[in-house]
Amino acid sequence: MLIDGPKQGNVIPDGFNPNYLKVYYGRLFPHADIFKWMSYGNDGRHPACDKSYFGRREFSFTLDNDIYLRFQSFNSESELENSIKEKCPSKIDIGPVYSVDPAKRHAYAQGGDNVFAPVERELIFDIDITDYDDVRYCCSGADVCLECWPLMTVAIKVIDTALRDDFGFDHILWVYSGRRGVHCWVCDGKARRLTNEQRGAIADYFRVYKGNENSNKKVSFPGPLHPFLVRSYTEVLREFFEEKLLLSQNLFSTEERYEKILSMIPDESVTSELRGKWQENRRSSNSKEDINFFRWEQLKNTLQSGKQKVQGLRRCVEEIVFAFTYPRLDMEVSKHRNHLLKAPFCVHPKTGRVCIPIDPKDCEEFDPTTVPTLSELLRELNTGDSRMDVDNEWEKTSLGKSIRFFRSSFLQPLLKSCKEEMESGYKAKIQQTKNSLSW
């Protein structure tokens, strides 16, 4: 098809179609890595390996004509790979590991001892920038640009730090969702074995924004902040709000915009004082300073001036900062173990971009507008050095960087830890049987 053609011009028009996908799944998609990941060490030779583990994982495929195939399962890497290559799904979702092979689920009763139910599932988070539409003015809906993308960066920093420092998790993968958000996969054994209730508790721990267009105040801090919120504020949110967001979103530049912020202040005397200042002074006397920055300072001074002893104003500044910048998670995605989530390295049908991992330590450098697209990758394959002797063709393309990162930062440490866990668990079991036998 395309690749056999002459190398001049290299006309691979942009787009997303089954032909491109076929090449992608045939030569670039990292089937082996996904298999190794999903096996969590059970594909080895150790006696503690559970040979049924991978086969109990649910995958789902969305096919080109919007047909949705759920409860797909595979018993080996080659089965997985062949099925993907054959069906060429426009989207691959990953579900939980069930108690039995999903293909056999109908044989199991609803109740009783042998149920068909999830037993393991990564702790996942889904952050979508459309949930921030009420606080970003540059874009709305499915659009994303470099002015509002930093909201995602901030979300990653806050959540990632909490997952590691507070919850003690180590094996965390952040992935670009392909268009307008990010996904997070927490893969520690402890995380995979969490119940729905425990996942709900973690999601609630992260929940700050409450409410919708029907309520006025979406963020409310009745008392001093919890250490997690304090840390998020002092290390990430305040600086981001004051030094980036204020300016990039022009939060105070028009009446409509500053009224939105004023509606978050529950004190008439404060809001009318500020409104008075801003309505008159179209051009502030310090015209050098940006109007947003200037008005924000005025707001802070008025609130913190101590004239107002009204309760509810003490943390108004923090409430405003959190309302604009604090991560907004989709609670339902995290709470239920049977929720499906798109697999990394899929290609987004609407943008053609690959869902590549994001390094949380370097997330400020991530640019969604330069993520490799399907057609770009195919062009790279075409123009790539055919003499290059590589094990994998993705090394010839910009996908190489992402896959190498996936392996070194995430997969290898994870598999090492799985192996250790398996070995020590096994030793403990042997010891236990020895003990019980020694009577």
Binding residues (CB under 8 A) for other proteins: these are 66, 110-112, 131, 133-134, 165-169, 190, 194, 197-198, 200-202, 204-205, 209-217, 223-230, 328, 331-332
CA distance 256 to 275: 12
Residue with tokens 């500044």: 317
CA distance 126 to 184: 7
Phi, psi of 357 (to 5 degrees): -65, 155
CB 99, min distance to other proteins, A: 15
Identity of the residue numbered 49: C
Cβ 313 vs Cβ 267: under 8 Å: yes
Give whichever of 42 and 161 is closer to other proteins, judged by the CB atom: 161
Question: Has 165 been annotated as catalytic?
Answer: no
DSSP state of 226: P
CB 289, min distance to other proteins, A: 33
Q: 22 by DSSP, 3-state: which?
A: helix
CB 318, min distance to other proteins, A: 12
Beta strands in 73-194 (DSSP E): 91-98, 118-120, 123-128, 172-176, 181-186
CB 109, min distance to other proteins, A: 11
How many angstroms from the chain centroid is the CA of residue 65? 27
Residue with tokens 């990758």: 377
Give whichever of 328 and 396 is closer to other proteins, judged by the CB atom: 328
CB 8, min distance to other proteins, A: 42
Encoded tokens for 227: 């250490």
Give whichever of 28 and 123 is closer to other proteins, judged by the CB atom: 123
Question: Has 391 been annotated as catalytic?
Answer: no
Handedness of CA 238, 242, 248, 249 (dihedral sign): positive
CB 145, min distance to other proteins, A: 20
Catalytic, out of 58, 101, 122, 380: 58
Question: Has 58 been annotated as catalytic?
Answer: yes
Catalytic, out of 33, 126, 188, 318: 126
CB 143, min distance to other proteins, A: 17
CA distance 337 to 57: 12
CA distance 203 to 225: 18
Give whichever of 134 and 243 is closer to other proteins, judged by the CB atom: 134
Gap between the terminal Cα atoms of the chain: 71
Look at residues 224, 237, 217, 50 and name the one whose alpha carbon lies nearest to residue 134: 217
CA distance 378 to 4: 12
CB 110, min distance to other proteins, A: 7
How many angstroms from the chain centroid is the CA of residue 181? 7
Give whichever of 162 and 354 is closer to other proteins, judged by the CB atom: 162
Give whichever of 211 and 425 is closer to other proteins, judged by the CB atom: 211
Cβ 79 vs Cβ 34: under 8 Å: no
Between helix 255-262 and helix 268-280 the angle, nearest 10°, is 160
CB 280, min distance to other proteins, A: 27
Residue with tokens 């309760």: 311
Catalytic, out of 33, 77, 93, 128: 128
Count CB neighbours of 146 within 10 A. Answer: 11
Phi, psi of 172 (to 5 degrees): -120, 130
Give whichever of 83 and 232 is closer to other proteins, judged by the CB atom: 232
Q: 199 by DSSP, 3-state: which?
A: helix
Encoded tokens for 334: 């995290």
Give whichever of 131 and 147 is closer to other proteins, judged by the CB atom: 131
CA distance 233 to 321: 8
Give whichever of 300 and 335 is closer to other proteins, judged by the CB atom: 335
Active site residues: 58, 126, 128
